Amino acid sequence: MSEKTVITCALTGLLTDPAVHRVPVTPEEMADHTQQAYNAGATIVHCHFRNQEKGMGHLPTWDLDTVGDILGAIKERVPEIIICMSTGVVGPDISGPAACLEKYKPEMAACNAGSLNYLKLRSNGSWAWPPMLFDNPVEKVKHFLDVMTANGVVPEFECFDSGIVRSVGLYKANGMFEGDPHISCVMGVASGMPAKPEWLPLLVKEMIDGTHYQVIAVGREEVWDLHRKCVELGGNVRTGLEDTFYLPNNEKARSNGELVEALANIVREVGHEIASPSEARKILGLRSA
């Protein structure tokens, strides 16, 4: 079990409206929130990229210039930070994220490892959004992995259910990727794995030897006990305005820095130290900065 814990900050998310929640969108905002997260203990930032046109900041973009401006601003502000690029798209066309991976070659990138019916209900039983399939069939996963392998990008497998966790071992045995697996257990989505600490030891038992793992905990006050359990088991952790808007005391967070500070406090309470960027790179087997 590592005595060092790697903390990731998910800065923005896919569709959160900056007019409703104060998520960073512009290159300057993304760099500022990265600096806050880094100062609080994060060594990785998970980046979604947003449309920069006026009034369109709630929409994602794969525009190469926009992505480059955001990545450049982040790296200029915090040169040591590890970038984990989001890649998620619905449908078979991955040309947008693939072009970004090929041009900018981040150290890590998300690889959604299986499909999920993405569902949520309102209190009256109606759908919060039209039921949708987040489709990640094997051929799509392999396409992403081929692009990542060719460009020296380490995949971070995002797993929404227990069967998807197990699938990563099958991908490895099939030769679809190289090196040790990096798994993110996405817990708290209504139609996926619940944010329950007692689930985590069972999931870890299903991971193949050598796996690095972290929890992506989605929700409110219930996520913090899950983070604590993950650190106790020797895993890594992630927070940020993509995953939650609420601090452990159930007050609304004003920034990514506040969320990372709360998570760093939990890491220390468990008795672990927070990994520096160079230590995180060594732990996760990443290339040098």
> Under a CB-based contact definition with an 8 Å cutoff, are residues 191 and 132 in contact?
no
> Tens digit of pLDDT per residue, the chain (289 long)?
448 999 999 999 887 888 888 899 999 999 999 999 999 999 999 999 999 999 999 999 999 999 999 999 999 999 999 999 999 999 999 999 999 999 999 999 999 999 999 999 999 999 999 999 999 999 999 999 999 999 999 999 999 999 999 999 999 999 999 999 999 999 999 999 999 999 999 999 999 999 999 999 999 989 999 999 999 999 999 999 999 999 999 999 999 999 999 999 999 999 999 999 999 999 999 976 5
Q: How far apart are CA 99 and CA 63, in angstroms?
A: 9
Q: Angle at the Cα of 49 (from 5 to 29), degrees rounded to 5?
A: 75
pLDDT for 14 = 85
Pairing of strands 236-239, 182-187: unpaired
Residues 6+ apart with CB under 8 A from 124: none
Strands (E) located in 212-268: 212-217, 236-239
The dotted CATH code for 4-284 is 3.20.20.70
Please name the residue that has the structure tokens 């947003």: 50
Structure tokens at 108: 């890590």
Residues forming a β-bridge with 215: 185, 237
pLDDT for 172 = 98
pTM assigned to the model = 0.95
pLDDT for 1 = 45
pLDDT for 221 = 87
pLDDT for 289 = 56
Domain limits of the chain?
A: 4-284
Q: How far is CA 111 from CA 117, 154, 210, 235, in A?
A: 17, 9, 18, 19
DSSP state of 50: B
φ/ψ (deg, to 5) at 221:
-65, -25
Rg of the chain over all Cα atoms, to the nearest angstrom:
17
Q: How far is CA 85 from CA 27, 105, 130, 156, 219, in A?
A: 15, 9, 27, 10, 22
Q: How far is CA 47 from CA 86, 152, 167, 225, 235, in A?
A: 6, 18, 25, 25, 21
